[in-house]
Structures are given as C-alpha cells and as structure tokens.
Structure 1
Amino acid sequence: MQILAPLVTLAAFIVATEGTCTGPNARTQPPAGAIVIDPTGAYSGSFKTVSEGVAKLPNTTTEHTLFLFPGTYEEQVTVPKIKGPLVVQGYTCDTTSYAANEVTITHAMAQKDVPASITKDRNDYTTTLLLKSSNVKVYNLNVANTAGNVGQAIAMKVDGANYGFYACNLTGYQDTLYANKGPELFAKSYISGA
C-alpha cells in the first residue's frame, strides 16, 4: 500500500496539471496559417529553431504569426524588416501572466565577446532577440541574455516602431532591454537587470 500512495499522488498531479491548460486563457495550439516552431519536431511542418521559422516569414503586407511550442531555444534571433505586421505567440497555460510562460529564447554574449574589429552596431551582436521590423506584437515569451556580470549583454533590442509586449519576461544583467525606437508598450511583463 505504501508503494501505491506515491503513484496515486503522482497520477493526480499529472491529471491536474493537464487540466489546468484548457481554460479560456490557455494558448496551446497555433492559429491557422501560423509558422510553427517546435523544438521536438513533432508538429507537422514545424521548424526546430526560431531562426528557421523567422527565415520563412513572407515579406508581404498581410499579418503573419509565429507560434512557438514549449522549450528553451538557445540561439540568437534577428527578425528583419518585413512589410506586414508580425505576431509572436508563445505556448502558455495562462496568457494573462508571464509566470506561466513555457517558451524561452536564450543566449549568452556580451560586448567583451564581440571582436574589436567590429565597430558598428556592436550591441546587435550581443542581442538575444533583435526586432528590426515594425508593427510587432509579442505574447508570453521569455527572452534572456545569460552572459552575466561582464558588461553590456542585451536580451532584446527593438529597432522599429509600434511594438506591444504582453506577459513577457526579459532577463539579463546590464542593458537587458535596448528600446532603441518606439513607441512600445509593455503590459503585464517583467524586465530584470542590474
């Protein structure tokens, strides 16, 4: 009987966890027409890295969506200028809070890591997520630069206009967010740095 008690508890926890991701604030499936990023490759037609998905964004005036399944994506991502609006959605059980985010883009690079021969746009080389396009909305995404206490190390740089960040979590040490151009709106989000 002592062996069964932990198993029953574990089964109840798994059922409870699965059930919590079905409410009105859950976003667990990509919208129709979205470019899907899934690190496991299980979702049909998906890309395993965010950069691969970004590379498939068409440069048209219509709105496009990137949907990211749960995971930690260890890469630098640059979203180039595109003509139309862009929506980036992270998988989450609660769209109203960054605490429930299940998608993280992370990279570790600081100014000290950029070759001295590079003299222009040095911050771009350290940035984990660089948004060059305008009219971008980002939902439920964690972005981190994990270089630590070694100087400028940007988690996210916005280099266009008209941005909205909703329930996002940005972490780094020095200069976590480089809000180069605007306007920008950060709602129900968390930004952490030194």
Structure 2
Amino acid sequence: MAYDRYTAICQPLHYERVMNRGACVQMAAGAWASGVLNSALHTGKMLAISFCRGNKVDQFFCEIPQLFKLACSDSYLTETGLIVCSVGLLLSCFFFIIVSYVQIITTVLRIPSKQGRHKAFSTCLPHLTVVSLFTCTGTFAYLKPLFSTSSRLDLIVAVFYSVLPPVMNPIIYSMRNKEIKASMRKLTRWWLSTKN
C-alpha cells in the first residue's frame, strides 16, 4: 500500500505503467514469501525445544511467547534469534513504509492548493492508521517481558492485536466513502437525539 500511495502521489502520470498486474503479483508474492519464511523459521526453532512444564497454554491460540514459558531448556539463544529475525523483517518493512511516506509528504507539501494537499493526505491516512495500529499492538505483544506479565494481560493483548486491526481495517478504509460518512452522521444524530 505504501508503494501504491507513493506511485499515485509522487508519480501520478506513471501510475498505470508502474502499478501493473506484474508489479502487484511480485509485491504480493514477496509479502507471502517473507511471511512463510518467518513462520517456517519460528516453527523449526520451536520443534527443537523440549517442553516439560505441562501442556496448558494460557492463550487463545498457540503463540511463541507462551511456548517459551513451557520450555525446559534454556531458550534464551533461540528466543533472541527469533526476536532478531522477526524485528529485522519488521524493521525492513517499516523502513520501506517510512521512506515511501517521507517522499509522499515532501511531494504533498509542494502542492500549491490546500484542497489538493488535503486530498493527498486523506488517501494516505487510512493506510498509516491501519499499519500503526497493527505494528504498535504486535510490538507490545511480542516484545514485553515473558514472565513479568499476568496471563490475563496476555489474553487481552492477544485479542487486541489479533482482532482489532482486521476489524478496524474495513472501517477505516470505508470512512472515505461519502455514502457511509453520510449514514454515520445520520446515525450519530439519531443516537444523540434519542439520548437527549
């Protein structure tokens, strides 16, 4: 999405040529390949650890930080390696997004009309909101100390980062639709009038 926004704003006359079907397929394949590689690395490392602290995971789904709590052996090196690989992948994506948006912002600030700047920023804001929401909640979930938090907090954080971004994604992107905005205004007015 960041590259799409970059191309649409910084190179609008080349958009059709740059964002063709082949480019979209390559970007999707790159995202899927990096996800598969990262998960294969995590799965391989988890299979090498021996577990002896029971088989109950205090989580809705089997997550790596929760599995480290059940490990018998010292898993410091494995945990550090997984964190370094995951953070490296995350930072490379984050760096690409930041570079794209710095170029977008410098281009938008050069637009002479206020309406043009507003329109350009409004196309970028939903993507930045969704990415920030997912990145912040995921970072908090995975980089907090394992043994210092309660299992209740772990459950709340897991729900927060696994449910909230996918739920908010269509809401944030649909708020650019004029009909939905008008419906939301009517609903808000009706709700406020019934409350009074």
- TM-score above 0.5, yes or no: no
Q: Normalized against structure 2, the TM-score is what?
A: 0.23
The structure that is strand-richer by fraction is 1
Q: Normalized against structure 1, the TM-score is what?
A: 0.24
